[in-house]
């Protein structure tokens, strides 16, 4: 009989709870966003995020259980994101899941946030197919060689700003709202991506790492040289976005060739970017490869991806004393090789 998992995600500014039976039967799934709360600050304030998680989470757990038609006693295991993320925010979700597990006498499963994203394109499947994984979000830009569940090798990572972080910072320079990635994407639809030549940092490097800080700085210098009245926002957004996308697609295809993968999986909040999907599709067709992304509702931070990752090791409980890990630790995450 398939186990029923309750998962909690509070790594940043989304409070999320999900109830999942097996690998694919969604019994309940709720997300409470704090975007409007953090918008006046132009970014996430950790103390504000954790306070709101504390206020929202108990009600969200009750509501999600009601959606599932279950009581706590009907849950077979409790999972939570334990890193990476904001330390205070992670503690809220992890502590809640541990408390529920202890109270119910059921197992606790500590789940890595990056693994949740990385596996999400395969949601509902019992087997994780070999593939090249691109995890691209506000906090991370990572490439993995994935052979099967639990067998991962880190191929490349950003040396400074993540792609999503660069989108948000450039949006702020342009006077757009927070979060800025979606607004840049929207404006770019009416812009000319060839109008301005922004740098494709590290695109031709011999490794698979990323760097987006220089691109952000290039946009800042570009704007400083032009009066605001002369800046064509759609063209700037389209040109900046094209530079980010070219690097993400180029590095992903290079990594797939290096590891011999015919399948590329893409996940994380930036995977919703329209232009990224278009250019990755074009590049894959040309290279004889295929790609897949998570369902739209699983691309931003959510608890369902955490439940799905936990469903692959529901019989291997984590120590109830396991701590949160705010920083991404490749050594604790990776096995195997190309």
Integer angstrom CA distances of residue 146 from 67, 214, 215: 34, 29, 29
Q: Which of 66, 77, 65, 81 is nearest to 102 (CA)?
A: 77
pLDDT for residue 234 is more than 90: yes
pTM for this predicted structure: 0.94
Asked if 34 and 52 count as a contact pair (C-beta separation under 8 A), the reply is yes
**Band of the pLDDT at 38, cuts 50, 70, 90?**
confident
**Band of the pLDDT at 37, cuts 50, 70, 90?**
confident
Query: Three-state DSSP class for 293?
Result: strand
Question: Could you tell me what percent of the chain has a pLDDT over 70?
Answer: 98
**CA 275, 158, 283: angle at the middle one, nearest 5?**
35
| pLDDT for residue 336 | 33
**Within its chain, how far is the Cα of 68 from the centroid?**
25
Count how many residues are written for the chain.
338
pLDDT for residue 335 is more than 80: no
Task: Specify the CATH number for 4-119+298-332; select among 3.30.460.20, 3.30.310.160, 1.10.3720.10, 3.30.420.40.
Answer: 3.30.420.40
| pLDDT for residue 329 | 84
**Band of the pLDDT at 337, cuts 50, 70, 90?**
very low
According to DSSP, the β-strands at 131-136 and 263-267 are parallel
Q: Rounded to whole angstroms, how far apart are CA atoms 129 and 292?
A: 11
**Band of the pLDDT at 229, cuts 50, 70, 90?**
low
Every domain of the chain with CATH number 3.30.420.40 lies at 4-119+298-332, 129-293
Bridge partner residues of 16 (DSSP):
9, 31
CB within 8 Å of 311: residues ≥ 6 apart: 3, 5, 20, 22, 23
CATH-assigned architecture of domain 129-293: 2-Layer Sandwich (3.30)
Q: Rounded to whole angstroms, how far apart are CA atoms 232 and 175?
A: 13
Label residue 9 exposed, middle or buried (CB < 10 Å: 0-12, 13-18, 19+): buried
pLDDT for residue 41 is more than 90: no
Averaged over 321-328, what is the pLDDT?
93
**pLDDT tens digits, residue range 115-167?**
999 999 999 999 999 999 999 988 899 999 999 999 999 999 999 999 999 99
Place of tokens 């893409």: 266
Backbone angles phi, psi at 18, to 5 degrees: -140, 150
Q: Rounded to whole angstroms, how far apart are CA atoms 320 and 223?
A: 51
pLDDT for residue 185 is more than 70: yes
Bridge partner residues of 26 (DSSP):
20
Averaged over 39-45, what is the pLDDT?
82
């Amino acid at each position: 009989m398939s186990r029923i998992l309750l998962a909690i995600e509070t790594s940043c500014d989304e409070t999320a709870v999900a109830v999942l039976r097996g690998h694919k039967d969604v019994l309940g799934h709720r997300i409470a966003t704090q975007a409007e709360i953090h918008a006046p600050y132009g970014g996430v304030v950790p103390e504000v995020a954790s306070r709101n998680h504390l206020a929202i989470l108990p009600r969200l757990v009750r509501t999600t259980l009601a959606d599932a038609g279950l009581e706590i006693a009907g849950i077979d295991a409790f999972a939570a994101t334990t890193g990476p993320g904001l330390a205070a925010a992670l503690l809220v979700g992890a502590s809640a899941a541990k408390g529920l597990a202890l109270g119910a006498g059921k197992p606790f499963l500590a789940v890595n946030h990056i693994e949740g994203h990385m596996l999400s394109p395969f949601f509902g499947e019992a087997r994780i197919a070999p593939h090249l994984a691109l995890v691209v979000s506000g906090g991370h830009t990572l490439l993995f060689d994935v052979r099967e569940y639990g067998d991962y090798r880190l191929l490349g990572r950003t040396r400074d700003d993540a792609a999503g972080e660069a989108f948000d910072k450039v949006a702020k320079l342009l006077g757009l709202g927070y979060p800025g990635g979606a607004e840049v994407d929207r404006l770019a639809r009416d812009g000319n991506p060839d109008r301005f030549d922004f740098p494709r940092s590290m695109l031709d490097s011999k490794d698979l790492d990323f760097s987006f800080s220089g691109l952000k700085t290039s946009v800042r210098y570009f704007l400083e040289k032009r009066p605001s009245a002369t800046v064509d926002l759609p063209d700037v957004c389209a040109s900046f976005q094209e530079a980010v996308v070219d690097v993400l697609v180029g590095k992903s295809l290079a990594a797939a060739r290096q590891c011999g993968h015919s399948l590329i999986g893409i996940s994380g909040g930036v995977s919703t970017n329209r232009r990224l999907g278009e250019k990755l599709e074009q590049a894959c067709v040309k290279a004889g490869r295929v790609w897949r992304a998570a369902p739209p509702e699983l691309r931003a931070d959510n608890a369902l991806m955490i439940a799905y990752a936990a469903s692959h090791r529901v019989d291997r409980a984590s120590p109830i004393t396991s701590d949160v890990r705010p920083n991404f630790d490749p050594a604790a995450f990776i096995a195997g090789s190309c």
